[in-house]
Chain A
Amino acid sequence: MFTMTINELASRKLRLLTTAFAILLGVAFISGTLIFTDTVGATFDTVLADVDAGVDAYVRTPSDINAGYGQGPRLDASIADTVAAVDGVDRVALRINGYARLVGRDSAPVGDITGGPALGMNWVTVDELNPWVISSGRPPAKDDEIVIDQQSAETAGYRPGDVVTVLTKGPQREFTIAGVARFGELDSPAGAAVVLFTDVTAAEVLASPDEASAIAVTAEDGVSQQALATAISAVLVSDVEVITGAELISENQASLAADFAGFSTVLLCLAMVAVFVGAFIINNTFSITVAQRTRDMALLRAVGASGRQVQLCVMMEAVVIGVVASAAGLAAGIGVAGGLESLMSQFGVDVPPGPSVISGTSLAVAFGVGVLITTLSAWLPARRAAKIAPIEAMRSVSVDDSAGSARRTILGVTVSAIGVGAVLTGLSLDEITVLGSGALTMFAGVVVLGPVLARPAAHLLGWPLRLRGVSGEIATRNAMLSPKRTSRTAAALMIGVALVGFITVFASSTKASIAGSLDDEFVGTHIIGDGGDDNATGLSPTLADQLRAQPGVDIVSQARLAPAVVNGSATDNFYAFDATTVDSLFRLGHVDGDLDSLGDDGIAVSATYAKDNALTVGSSVPVTFIGSASTFAVRAIYSSGALWVGDNFVDLGAFTANGLDELDYRIYVSGDSEAIATAAAADPSAMVQDRAEFLDSKNASIDQILGLFSVMLALAVFIALLGIANTLALSIGERQRELGLMRAVGMARAQTRSMVRWEAVIVAVFGSILGLAIGTFFGWAVVQALADEGIDTLSVPLTPLAAITLIAAAAGAIAAVLPARRAARLDVLAALASH
């Protein structure tokens, strides 16, 4: 039996190749992602272990909140003296982190804030405790000297001796660059732009005098890390914690791994989409070839093979394809990993040189998925093969032209309805798993319904083609001939297009919602930011003061942002506003209570939030910040504007009172353009945007994400196109005599080609319309779900969706190029004589 499998495969090299290619790409993407994640993880693990290798114990303020690159919890710098006196402590050094941004020669900040954060640190004078290594110049000796990271130095063209401006939370200051340093083996940690100050300056400009972020300690010879940590914590008060150097390293490694986990999860999901699409193609190919080989298989049965043996024979074929393709996919995966690495460096994150980590587990997972998917996809066709009766050897093979039975219609509608129901339930319950399985169920339902829809759809889509003459007409007939085949081929394309359609609708709805709320809820004239979109950086509050002092600037409201745990749930974006002016810049709708009375212990909440959490004016809301915790009293409840001010916010004073850095995330302003520009000119990091520019930049960043996902999903679409090519090639093999006949009675080669092409176009358009319908539904559902968060306007962008359909049609035509050429080059006589 196995020999037969091999012979069969060997005789159909082209089919083997295209089918295998579909799986190969998916496996390559999976293994590439895994190898890349492993490699990056291992490399950064090494770096992180190296830079803190000298740390034996680490003293810091514990916090439940991950501040990311933003301000972490601080501690009293004088603790360092207490620690230094502990037995077993050799050396002690403060670590001070905060916001600092180097200004380049062009008066613009150095480094792309969306790529890597801007950080300020102190230059640690104890060599064992200093992660930095001077590459040129020397360490800062005076308080007006700094060291900058190698990457920033190269980007800005700065050298030791240059005098530069540095932005911090206070007024900007001039410093002399004493030296340039590297972070262990890296030019900069994770693409950050770093400025290193002396201890004194660092405390002053990054934190507050007498404050530090942490204290790093080395042990005397013979003292273990554990013993040292225990000894230090024994002398310290309870609000600081002591961990060993080993713990610090593994914590940093874990946090980096968590950062990468999101990235690699997205990549893996996209890879799985590709594999899923590949599964359709394999299933379709096997379905068609089993049908085409009915006579051979019936003959096998007639001469004594059991149904099981026939089934096994088909399954073996799938296993061989799966194994070969997956093995090749693993090899290609190494290349994909390299591609991802250069993609990362495009985003400013250089992966340090190091050997690729190719772990057995990763390879086994990717390989296993490939083989499993191939085998599973061939399972149904193989079972069908097992059921072939010996008598069918005597019959002529006919194409399975059955379409929609009533049973299929009912089943398809039911499954789709269940899927829709699950999506809606998942949305209302906020359960991503229910939502996801609902989406998958919907796909399944539409796949079941496909054959019912295929014939009428092809008929309809082919209608305009009839004007293009007989090739369009016959193409339509061919697309209608086998609804199952057509719908399976289209379904593979549907998946990718559905996802592209979904993100297109979602992006467009987000844009429309932002535009809508800008119109409806923002009454100011300008928005000033620093280009960043999180709490990692900010604008010095000096800018807000200058704006207030500037004639022609009417209203100024600062917004600050901090990670916090509000009423029990963690958020990265907890807002503080200038409570007295915020309602002059935003239409907050009906306000219960009084915003002006917020003070340092009051909180304003949105009506929706109040309702969901059963809050009324006077209720208390506990909030935990990075270094402290407070309870706020609800003093105001507003009915709109949540997209701008969040579900809840406090006054700026509350942030200051809780020890948060005084850095503004944004400044919302109302006033004269020139006056605002004049005031903002003093701050190089200030990015002033009027309403239209703000909208443009928002749209641009949405488009960028949309573009990135579309590119990733293009792989799934590409695989689906391989499927179209494959199906066409198989159909052409089946229709040899028909083609020969048409050529004989006068069909020109060009007409033959266009016939095949039009069929591909019909299938592609059918698949993409199905996909867009599903994608639009997903978009609608998600907009429903996110209405609370301000994405409340559904926008179905007809032009892009039409463009997607056109691209799919064009891509279908391209996929048809080879099969069409093959059909056109058929030898007429040989085709006529074929069976």
Chain B
Amino acid sequence: MTVTISETPSRLAHFPARSVPPNPSPCAAATVRNAVKVYGKGDTEVRALDGVSVEFMAGEFTAIMGPSGSGKSTLMHSTAGLDQLTSGTVLIGETDISSLNDRRLTQLRRDRIGFIFQSFNLVPTLTAAENISLPAKLAGRKIDPEWFAQAVRAVGLEKRLKHRPSELSGGQQQRVAVARALASRPEIIFADEPTGNLDSLAAAEILSFMRSAVRDLGQTIVMVTHDPVAASYADRAVFLVDGRIVDDLDKPTTTSVLDRVRRLGS
């Protein structure tokens, strides 16, 4: 059930590129060093991350894979500044986020990071257009109309802009979320099971938008997923088990990922 995307003409062809050029010289958009995250104490202690070090390269689409409880969501949340590590370092670009207070951290998320969540991605009282421009508005900036238009066009939402989330299908809602993440031109986009609630067709659409954003615009995306098909859209798949990175796969395909998953499971 592979949907190949190469045939699909890219809607992002005219999307102006960010400062990061396509296929950049390998520099890390986010760096994690010796990340340890411990929940609970004593007998109930759980080490969600047990010394993870990983770099997410700029202009790369990375999938974080692993069974549930492997720590993949914790890794993403900590890297994205939503959660704090027990110990270890996270750099976004060159910024050490562990030293930031809540205000700075919020600014960082707003200005330098994009988010796509599994569900409930949108503020229900705002229209699609307002949701897309929310981070810019939160920053008190006017969104660049050209950027906005192209982000919208990229995900094919031109006709749905005035709709409220409740008037959109699940797939459309996720497209709005992708547009929002793109529209603020972040250094890195974190996607948390972005297709987890979608049927395979809608999922394929979303994933190809994400891949195009990386290939054509040099966007950096880190995606947490447990779906090998989703992972196959990525340039690289990182495998987590019990809070440790156990494997790192370049150019993953559905088959190779499934193979890894099976091996890790046994």
Contacts and interface: CB of A to CB of B under 8 A. Distances in A.
The answer on A and B forming one complex is yes
Nearest to A739: B123
Contacts of B124: 738
A749 B102 contact: yes
Nearest to B83: A829
A478 B102 CA distance: 25
Contacts of A748: 103, 106-107, 110, 138
A477 B125 CA distance: 6
Classify chain A: how many residues form its interface, as a range. Answer: 20 to 34
Contacts of B115: 744-745
A511 interface: no
B17 to A, nearest CB: 23
Interface in A465-488: 469-470, 473-474, 477-478, 480-481
B82 interface: yes
A418 interface: no
B123 A742 contact: yes
Nearest to A481: B125
B125 A746 contact: no
A746 B139 contact: yes
A36 to B, nearest CB: 49
B34 interface: no
B109 A745 contact: yes
Contact of A470 (B77, B82, B117, B137): B137
Interface string B117-141: 1001111111000100011011110
Contacts of A481: 125
B248 interface: no
B134 A832 contact: no
Nearest to A825: B102
B107 A741 contact: no
A481 B123 CA distance: 12
A829 B190 CA distance: 14
A832 B109 contact: no
Interface residues of B, number: 29
A744 B186 CA distance: 14
Given A741-B121, A742-B123, A470 B134 contact: yes
B178 to A, nearest CB: 13
B126 A832 contact: no
Given A469-B137, A829-B82, A474 B106 contact: no
B211 interface: no
A396 to B, nearest CB: 10
A75 to B, nearest CB: 81
A474 B126 contact: yes
A482 to B, nearest CB: 10
Contacts of B180: 745
A745 B121 CA distance: 10
A190 interface: no
B52 to A, nearest CB: 18
B138 A741 contact: no
A737 interface: yes
B82 A828 contact: yes
Interface of A: 398, 469-470, 473-474, 477-478, 480-481, 737-738, 741-751, 828-829, 832
26 contacts: A398-B166, A470-B137, A470-B138, A473-B130, A474-B123, A474-B125, A478-B125, A737-B120, A738-B120, A738-B124, A741-B121, A742-B138, A743-B106, A744-B82, A745-B110, A745-B134, A745-B138, A745-B180, A746-B107, A746-B109, A746-B134, A746-B135, A749-B102, A749-B103, A749-B106, A829-B83
